[in-house]
Structure 1
């Protein structure tokens, strides 16, 4: 019977085996339990809820992004390394990068062999930084890249700082400050390895402008190229390239050329003030060039001096000394813009050896710097003392020897210029009465005497197609019968036209052209009064022909042209004496006639004391142009004055301010020189006897009824009209004209 308890179930025991005893589990230590709980807790959080899913997704995304960034950065680094390696292999030795000019230079020497001007890109090699005064290197580094000796070609800090400044100033991040290191600037000067190709269709200026463009792509390429340079060259070699290739204004390429250009010193001799001025030009060479504005250049140099002091390159004493005594241009440097004369000489040679030369060229010239300073000083003083303030009137001066060698040229009131409008050579203006000597030259060459007479009276000539032409004298009165010498002395218009018509306009035109007036000459009777336009250089050269005895000259300034370092000249003198135009006796008589213009005629203000001189005044219609051209036994000088826009001059004639400028210039030119007589023949009183028929005309004064005059007195005589049979129709016409015009009738 059941006792009420559930029977215990148990398996049968297997024979021979005892049941194993259950071993109690060892107690787990507290640290182990804590560790398991810490491992299981996150698992429970990852497994729980939407937040866990989001967190897991973010972690996965971050791992993917990190992997992509890492791989991309690795690829970029490999590409940069490859590009740097490629440019590394293309970089030539330093020596090949020192002179990268596409154009050569032109050095101009005066008549004594001294340098007076430079053109093109001047250059002088710096072979290493040891050739340069440490002040120069310090000034450049302090101004352009204070961390130059510490970076690897690119300065991320400098780029970031530049971008921040640009954006703060309202520009684009790449506009304005570039944050470029000196190495990057050198890479830009090398145009990133792309040399200038003249056949590319770009000018050199356009090529350089393209090299300076700032774009993201170009900035990246510039950085890569800079790193390749850092790998290929030492810091000193990079500086050497930079110091040679940087443009510093005034046509100077490199610091050695600039030191000579501005200070007349070697680059190894520059003091802190001079070094600072050159380094200051790097930011804007044309604007800060001391030849453009010394004040601006000095102001910029003060900033560079401050930077040098702040970076411990100079002491406080050196800083104060540089500020107290800023760099000054050397006396030679001030004049070495070359001015109008240098521009004219450059234009006289072939372009491929002057303005577009690829070689370094030396040109010997006729310039006399002493005479040039005299002409410039005379013009400046007369305008300062005798021209009202604010006047825009201009003037020009040319001084030359009797063979046409130009010794000085001033093409305008501003003399320290380059490429400016040259009023001495480019301006074509009416010559007025300064043309009259060529009329009398033609008459004298035909055998007429300076003492022959002509009647100054109201007179008209019929011009086919235009009607009557009635010349008037400047004074609006008439002198009656006068000699040719007096007609020129007093610049009488009616006698000038009469003589021109008598000898023939073609004859006058031929004489003027052969003397060098190559401009188109008027065809009508107004030819005699200088209605034709010509340049001051042409007119002065024509007067040189009168001084030298009647031979034409071609004004010239170039003596020889050669490649620098070579002895043989490629070009020789480009002008000088030409063919004879009038007889020597006629020229010497004309010199006497022109000397009376200064001694007692319209050119009295040009008188040079006891030094003999000759010349002629000229004033054009409505006083738009005023001239004085004349000479001594040593030099010929021409002065023109007027307005560029042809505005009439107020109260100015050729015998006024132009004569005074001429006087002042020639007094300075001849200072200390021996007084020499003019080469002239004073005519003697002649009374011609009747000539037998069929006899050829004698080379003596023509016979006119009336008064003649010697050099010292006057005498009345009534010679008979010379009679002979005309040989041809031309002579018959000439006789009739001479009889009616020079004889006193109309």
Structure 2
């Protein structure tokens, strides 16, 4: 028991185990390849660390930019019309539009209001994922950059791949309005807005994101549809629809929609008014895109392809280019070329007469003029009060802004000037049956020496009446008569009738040595038709701002003061009627109509004229070369008379013949002559027989003494 009670010895304390020290693993050997690649790996790590931070910073900046742009974007109503200049719409005499100038805007139209075909055509052509992205189509942008790199090496130059929202951002120039102090003109402004750089692409994307944040897709599309340029001065699809098809963008069909959408890539080059076939070809491509995107069934596409869009009658007509330019020049520039408002101008143009003049010109040059000829021609048709009904300023009938030979070309008038000589004599009391001498005669002018004119035929006819002298366009009697009645009087009559160009001082005045324009000459002849009163040719009837009912300007032309007595004008009309009936103007005659007129051919045949009139209209035709080269085998009695005939035969077709306002003189009682020295004078009170004797003696004396 003692043993049991013996206490057990305390257990010995165990020493703490020493921690086991693990040996470090030996570093892996990189090997030769690893050693070589290690610097690149390190650079990639460094690049990644910088890139994600940079991306974060760029993203933050873009976010700030998006917030800023979105907060400054105005309501879309303020963005749809971004023009810096206004438009001019020209209406013909019937009130129908025939020409446009400036930047045309048809009024705001919303995306939901345009025809569905048009909306679908734009989406299929410009941005088929428009409704799915947030402003930038990264897939399309990347694909475009790859194509650009392969084609030219610069991924930012070439096909853009911009979304429709990005294109709208560029149309808005990222919110920068046009400033004339920054850009030379609007063209430079738009070019700068389209400039492509890396920074501009970032700015474009930022603005696009902001637009997506601020506007709905339909609102963005509305801005685009109203701002896009579509050629021929059309800003927006509403203006283009009206310009090319004469209908609203609400009413265009599938082929018309496809043609309009096809203009977005190259609006000026593909404008249907410039090249209809090219516009139709591009429209056919857009129709296929619409089918591929499911907007058209194969059957609908086939029907549309078989019926391509064509221009409206107003757009198809080539009429009015020269006339429209002339009317624009006749109005104040702040309402025409320089207008910032939308202006409506009603004019005197008669489209039927304009078409007649154009068709006549084309027909004569195709059938009567040798192929390859560079000869030019111009035509003016007006009413007796000076209202211009048609104007052709050259053979290029589609020209706009071109040199207008009807209003700008100063050319010698030749024998077309002679009626003013005879008008002066008749107004001073002479008779169409008074005798003149056609014989070799010379005149001397100070500083010019002796001048001996000849007739075109080379013959002299001896004694002839005044009417015979005009009918055969004899030169000697015309000069002698001008000297008899007074050169200053002839000049005064011509100027009063509207010849504002400087007139010659010497005896050659009578033979049209002076220069004038076709519209001046035609207007002067209108004074003969209306009974002897001057007219001012005009084309502008009234000018008003779009939306206003009251005009700001009205016609400033029309009949002016009397120049010669009515009886003198009526007798002169009868004399000019004889020119067409049996004289040098026979080719101008129109069957069933009384026509009066006068031919004109200048020295060396550099200019050929025919100006004449029916009871309703006066028309003038000029023909020649721009470089003053002589015409070959052409006189006023030839091609110009034929162009006049072809024009007026079309103009007068279907109308009831109107007699000429002429007075047939009698030989029994001849008016008393009043020889002039250029200062005017009173009648001398001779008997008719004495007057005839005096006139003949004077004429012989003048011609035998050389003036």
Question: TM-score surpassing 0.5?
Answer: yes
Q: Secondary structure at the match of 1:553?
A: strand
How far is 1:113 from its partner? Answer: 1.4
How far is 1:471 from its partner? Answer: 0.4
Asked whether the 8 Å contact 2:255–2:309 carries over to 1, the reply is yes
Q: Secondary structure at the match of 2:241?
A: helix
Q: Which residue of the partner structure matches residue 665 of structure 1?
A: 647
Q: Which residue of the partner structure matches residue 683 of structure 2?
A: 697
Distance in 2, Cα, partners of 1:172 & 1:60: 30
Asked whether the 8 Å contact 2:431–2:671 carries over to 1, the reply is no
> What is the TM-score of this pair, normalised by structure 2?
0.92
Would you say 1:340 and 2:322 are equivalent positions?
yes
How far is 1:690 from its partner? Answer: 11
Asked whether the 8 Å contact 1:403–1:548 carries over to 2, the reply is yes
> What is the TM-score of this pair, normalised by structure 1?
0.88
Asked whether the 8 Å contact 2:70–2:213 carries over to 1, the reply is yes
Q: Which residue of the partner structure matches residue 4 of structure 2?
A: none
Q: Which residue of the partner structure matches residue 12 of structure 1?
A: none
How far is 1:299 from its partner? Answer: 1.0
Equivalent in 78, 101, 114 of residue 60 of structure 2? 78
Q: Deviations over 1:680-721 (max 9, x none)?
A: 121111467999xxx95269997679xxxxxxxxxxxxx654
Q: Secondary structure at the match of 1:541?
A: helix
Q: Secondary structure at the match of 2:593?
A: coil
Aligned pairs for 1:75-154 within 5 A: 75-154=57-136
Q: Secondary structure at the match of 2:250?
A: helix
How far is 1:452 from its partner? Answer: 1.2
Aligned pairs for 1:349-368 within 5 A: 349-368=331-350
Q: Which residue of the partner structure matches residue 12 of structure 2?
A: 20
Q: Which residue of the partner structure matches residue 433 of structure 1?
A: 415
Q: Deviations over 1:256-288 (max 9, x none)?
A: 111111111221222221111001100111110
Asked whether the 8 Å contact 2:384–2:529 carries over to 1, the reply is yes
Q: Which residue of the partner structure matches residue 741 of structure 1?
A: 702
Asked whether the 8 Å contact 2:437–2:700 carries over to 1, the reply is no
Q: 1:139 to 1:51 in 2, by over 3 A?
A: closer
Equivalences, count: 694
Q: 1:292 to 1:699 in 2, by over 3 A?
A: farther
Asked whether the 8 Å contact 1:105–1:361 carries over to 2, the reply is yes
Distance in 2, Cα, partners of 1:153 & 1:550: 72
Structure 2, unmatched stretches of 5+, are: 1-6, 674-680
Q: Which residue of the partner structure matches residue 11 of structure 1?
A: none
Would you say 1:494 and 2:476 are equivalent positions?
yes
How far is 1:50 from its partner? Answer: 11
Q: Which residue of the partner structure matches residue 264 of structure 1?
A: 246
Asked whether the 8 Å contact 1:398–1:408 carries over to 2, the reply is yes
Q: Deviations over 1:644-689 (max 9, x none)?
A: 2222212111111111111111111112222222111211114679
Q: 1:55 to 1:350 in 2, by over 3 A?
A: closer
Q: Which residue of the partner structure matches residue 561 of structure 1?
A: 543
Would you say 1:172 and 2:154 are equivalent positions?
yes
How far is 1:155 from its partner? Answer: 2.2
Q: Which has the larger radius of gyration?
A: 1
Q: 1:75 to 1:530 in 2, by over 3 A?
A: same
Asked whether the 8 Å contact 2:380–2:406 carries over to 1, the reply is yes
Would you say 1:471 and 2:453 are equivalent positions?
yes
The CA RMSD over aligned residues, in Å, is 3.0
How far is 1:336 from its partner? Answer: 6.7
Q: 1:522 to 1:67 in 2, by over 3 A?
A: same
Distance in 1, Cα, partners of 2:38 & 2:230: 63
Asked whether the 8 Å contact 1:448–1:700 carries over to 2, the reply is no
Q: 1:552 to 1:742 in 2, by over 3 A?
A: farther
Would you say 1:530 and 2:545 are equivalent positions?
no
How far is 1:741 from its partner? Answer: 2.7
Q: 1:148 to 1:63 in 2, by over 3 A?
A: same
Asked whether the 8 Å contact 1:588–1:681 carries over to 2, the reply is yes
Q: 1:645 to 1:61 in 2, by over 3 A?
A: closer
Distance in 2, Cα, partners of 1:375 & 1:58: 80
How far is 1:210 from its partner? Answer: 2.1
Q: 1:171 to 1:402 in 2, by over 3 A?
A: farther
Asked whether the 8 Å contact 2:672–2:686 carries over to 1, the reply is no
Equivalent in 547, 561, 570 of residue 588 of structure 1? 570
Structure 1, unmatched stretches of 5+, are: 1-14, 706-718, 723-734
Q: Secondary structure at the match of 2:401?
A: coil
Q: Deviations over 1:371-404 (max 9, x none)?
A: 1111111111122221222222211110000110
Equivalent in 141, 144, 156 of residue 159 of structure 1? 141
Q: Which residue of the partner structure matches residue 626 of structure 1?
A: 608
